[in-house]
Structure formats: structure tokens, C-alpha cells
Amino acid sequence: MERALDRALDPFPFRPRWWVTCSELRHERAGDPEFYRARIGEHLGRKKPTDSKAFFRFRTYRGIGARGLLDVAAEHGWQLDPDKKLRPLRQVDLIRKARQDTT
């Protein structure tokens, strides 16, 4: 039920930054940053190769911070979008790095 509620409300930006689900709060209280890293990695792993932009709202990475988000994103070939205004307490915008062909 929490996942359905989360998916239903995710497109709407009116939720407060501090709003989290019960499961997120449990992981945050337990000091479990791997929950947030896995969530971000899973989201970036689902992106199609043609997708070049992504963004994460604060509640998605609040357990590891913006720096932790950028570390996980770099492992998946993403970097901070230089064209967007930096707002780490609201959301982080990412772009996919251009691949270097070694042929």
C-alpha cells in the first residue's frame, strides 16, 4: 500500500521535503544508507540507454545526502547537470556522461 501511495503522489511536488514513508523512516532511523543507495541504483539502472536526463527529489536521497547520490550516479555513468541550478535540498538533476568508444 505504501508503494502505491508513493507512486500516486510522486508526480506532485506539493509534498513537504521532510515527508517519508514508514519504511523509509525505519531505514533512516536504523542508519541504513544501503537502502537509499540501492533505490537510486535501481532507478538509474532502469533508465533506457537513450535517456540522457534524470532527477531525484530530496526525499529519495535524504539518507545519504547529495554527495552520496552523486557517488552512486557516477558508478552508473551519470553526473551533475551543469545547465541546471544546484538545489541539493530540493532535487538533484543529472545527465548521462558521453561514452568514450575505444575502437
Q: Which of 40, 101, 100 is nearest to 68 (CA)?
A: 40
Q: How many CB atoms sit inside 10 A of residue 59's CB?
A: 19
Under the banding of pLDDT at 50, 70 and 90, the label for residue 103 is very low
- The DSSP element (H or E) to which 28 belongs, if any, is helix 22-29
- The DSSP element (H or E) to which 96 belongs, if any, is strand 91-96
- The DSSP element (H or E) to which 79 belongs, if any, is strand 78-80
Q: What is the pTM of this model?
A: 0.72
Task: Return the pLDDT at 102.
Answer: 46
Taking only the tens place, the pLDDT of each residue in 13-50 is 566 666 777 888 888 888 888 999 998 999 998 888 88
Q: Is the pLDDT of residue 58 over 60?
A: yes
Q: Is the pLDDT of residue 100 over 60?
A: no
Domain boundaries, the chain: 2-96
